[in-house]
A and B are shown apart, each in its own frame.
Chain A
Amino acid sequence: DIQMTQSPSTLSASVGDRVTITCRASQSISGWLAWYQHKPGKAPKVLIYDVFSLESGVPSRFSGSGSGTEFTLTISSLQPDDFATYYCQQYNTYSPTFGQGTKVEIK
């Protein structure tokens, strides 16, 4: 299986900060990478798919970039609603895998 490694595991930030989360794949996954936001007790929500594409209804402060094995999720100006756990996920194989998650906390 392809291993997905996120960094950092936890991130403390303030409202208005620019936040970047990195995801590294153990082998090339072409353009098949998504980012999800997950809050306790709620359904996970897709933010970005196919590395760069913003899901309909997701604010433009979220953006994705990268290629091959290294990818990033950027939140340009952190808002109160953005405090959550974020996961990357590859879907380049029949065994999709998630990163371990990055918890974005209030500083």
Chain B
Amino acid sequence: EVQLLESGGGLVQPRGSLRLSCAASGFIFPNYAMSWVRQAPGKGLEWVSTLSGSGGSTYYADSVKGRFTISRDNSKNTLYLQMNSLRAEDTAVYYCAKGGQLGEAFDIWGQGTMVTVSS
């Protein structure tokens, strides 16, 4: 079964850091781009970042550029999101999704992990 399982969310103070993980199973992980998409409370879906299958190409939304870093370990079938300098407006459910390259929809999603930035 194709599955994505996020972890690492929690409560963090403003200007703090957090690292999210996404464990993938059921498909050949290195063959696919992977992405993070978030949903703030009461808001819609917002794309955050995409990483190519090889890890050689990264893309970020302007709202997180310079603060967040996407990475992957293809030997562990795991995607990461390192979030630094967190702000209240980063509070959201963060979803891991398969896909996101040019011409690619997000065809598999995880259940999400909640990140709350508050003092």
Q: Which residues of A contact B (CB under 8 A)?
A: 1, 32, 34, 36, 38, 42-46, 49-50, 55, 87, 89, 91-101
Contacts and interface: CB of A to CB of B under 8 A. Distances in A.
A77 to B, nearest CB: 25
Given A38-B45, A95-B61, A98-B46, A45 B109 contact: yes
A91 B103 contact: yes
Interface string B98-119: 0011111111011110000000
A34 B61 contact: no
Contacts of B100: 91, 96
Nearest to A49: B105
27 contacts: A34-B105, A34-B106, A38-B45, A42-B111, A43-B95, A43-B110, A43-B112, A44-B45, A46-B107, A49-B105, A49-B107, A87-B44, A87-B45, A91-B100, A91-B102, A91-B103, A91-B105, A92-B102, A93-B102, A94-B50, A94-B59, A95-B47, A95-B59, A95-B61, A96-B100, A98-B47, A99-B44
Interface residues of B, number: 23
* Chain B interface main SS type: loop
Q: Tell me the dominant secondary structure on chain A's binding face.
A: loop
A22 B27 CA distance: 33
Contacts of B101: 91
- Residue from A87, A91, A98 with most neighbouring chain B CB atoms (10 Å): A91
B4 to A, nearest CB: 8
A93 B61 CA distance: 12
B109 A96 contact: no
Contact of B105 (A38, A89, A94, A97): A89
Contact of A91 (B95, B104, B109, B110): B104
A100 B45 CA distance: 8
A50 B102 CA distance: 12
B47 A55 contact: no
Contact of A55 (B44, B95, B103, B107): B107
B44 A98 contact: yes
